[in-house]
Amino acid sequence: MKRVSLIPYVCGAGASTPGAEQGSLYCRAHGLSEKLATLGIDTVWAVDPDSHWNGPYGRLAHENIPERGSAERQEIVGWHLQTLAENVMAELNRGHRAVTLGGDHSMAAGSIAGAKAALGPDARLGLIWVDAHPDLHTYHTSASKALHGMPLGTLTGLDQTLAIGEQFGVTLKPEDIVYIGLRDIDDAERENARSLGLNLHTLEEIRERGVASVVQDAAIELSACCTHIILSIDVDGFDPDLAPATGTRVSNGLMYEEILPVLAGIVRTHSVPLIEIVEFNPTLPGAEKTFDLIVRMLGELLPR
């Protein structure tokens, strides 16, 4: 059985609403690893989130956050992305499964780059992206300049806003991306998707066919061409009743039973080296409820 490394991303500077930087700190302080141990799941914190929180890009940087779109703000996110990529690479290289805990969704540009670097040039990564938002902006198309709206803009090669060092150069093929949960899409993102030949099916559309069967079919298609599947789960993909403590809530989200069993089946039957859970903002109301969802999700996703 693969051991699981918990890897924190102690950064919320990619989001407009402050607080996501504290997500992994909350998970650690509230005993995520211990709770998973009671379910028979062996995890270890690869990095102490406090060490990042107490560093120059942690609490100090977040308490005096530079404005969105500034080079200073980008520098904070850049440090965290680089560090996350290195940590994911190191944990995969020692044979562990990586679970990254956010932090805002800009982190996907670091975690996925790190996974690609560890898995090597022959690896082709399929991505299941659970989210209310496609996060497919470029710096140019984003009105808010919030970096958490851009990870897939960078990972599909539309621009380089969240790109890190050469070692981590990575491009996902648009056809290897599966979106589940979309309900808030900007026109510019639709345009970007069109330019990539990528379909942005909304959750409402997917529900017509049944979420589980859409995800199941998508996994079968991915496994025909991809060597690995990555799960990137933004808690705002879920209904706000289940995950209230997140910065950009959108109503009518995924219900637990609609999506978790099928994702757990994918983890059991495919190579899933990286699972990430993002946009938990424990400074917002409903932190406890949202943390419970995260524990329950990881308890079901991670094999015993």
Please tell me whether residue 234 binds Mn ion under the rule CB under 5 A: yes
Rounded to the nearest whole angstrom, what is the least distance from the CB of residue 277 to Mn ion in the complex?
A: 11
Distance of CA 213 to the CA centre of its chain: 22
Rounded to the nearest whole angstrom, what is the least distance from the CB of residue 154 to Mn ion in the complex?
A: 13
Report which residue type is found at 131: D
Whichever of 58 and 103 has its CB closer to Mn ion, that residue is 103
Rounded to the nearest whole angstrom, what is the least distance from the CB of residue 168 to Mn ion in the complex?
A: 20
Rounded to the nearest whole angstrom, what is the least distance from the CB of residue 105 to Mn ion in the complex?
A: 3
- Return the biggest CA–CA distance within the chain: 48
The residue to which tokens 């080296």 are assigned: 273
Rounded to the nearest whole angstrom, what is the least distance from the CB of residue 116 to Mn ion in the complex?
A: 19
- Cis peptide preceding 23, ω within 30 of 0: no
Span near Mn ion by CB under 5 A; candidates 16-24, 54-62, 139-147, 228-236: 228-236
Span near Mn ion by CB under 5 A; candidates 127-135, 152-160, 194-202, 249-257: 127-135
Counting DSSP H helices and E strands in the chain, the numbers are: 12, 7
Whichever of 43 and 179 has its CB closer to Mn ion, that residue is 179
Please tell me whether residue 21 binds Mn ion under the rule CB under 5 A: no
Span near Mn ion by CB under 5 A; candidates 68-76, 132-140, 179-187, 192-200: 132-140
Whichever of 262 and 277 has its CB closer to Mn ion, that residue is 277
Please tell me whether residue 104 binds Mn ion under the rule CB under 5 A: no
Size of residue set near Mn ion by CB under 5 A = 4
What DSSP element (H or E) covers 180?
A: strand 177-180
Q: What are phi and psi of 24, to 5 degrees?
A: -70, -30
Please tell me whether residue 105 binds Mn ion under the rule CB under 5 A: yes
CB 133 within 8 A of CB 185: yes
CA distance 304 to 301: 9
Decide the pairing of beta strands 97-101 and 125-130. Answer: unpaired
Please tell me whether residue 131 binds Mn ion under the rule CB under 5 A: yes
Whichever of 176 and 234 has its CB closer to Mn ion, that residue is 234
Rounded to the nearest whole angstrom, what is the least distance from the CB of residue 13 to Mn ion in the complex?
A: 15
Decide the pairing of beta strands 43-45 and 228-234. Answer: unpaired
The conformational region for residue 198 under phi > 0 = left, psi -120 to 50 = alpha, else beta, is: beta
CA distance 154 to 156: 5
CB 127 within 8 A of CB 153: no
- Of 21, 86, 91, 135, the one binding Mn ion by CB under 5 A: 135
Span near Mn ion by CB under 5 A; candidates 47-55, 126-134, 175-183, 193-201: 126-134
Rounded to the nearest whole angstrom, what is the least distance from the CB of residue 216 to Mn ion in the complex?
A: 23
Q: How is residue 115 written in tokens?
A: 């996974």
Whichever of 91 and 135 has its CB closer to Mn ion, that residue is 135
**C-alpha closest to that of 85 among 48, 122, 112:** 112
Span near Mn ion by CB under 5 A; candidates 169-177, 233-241, 268-276, 292-300: 233-241
The residues that touch Mn ion, with contacts defined as CB under 5 A, are: 105, 131, 135, 234
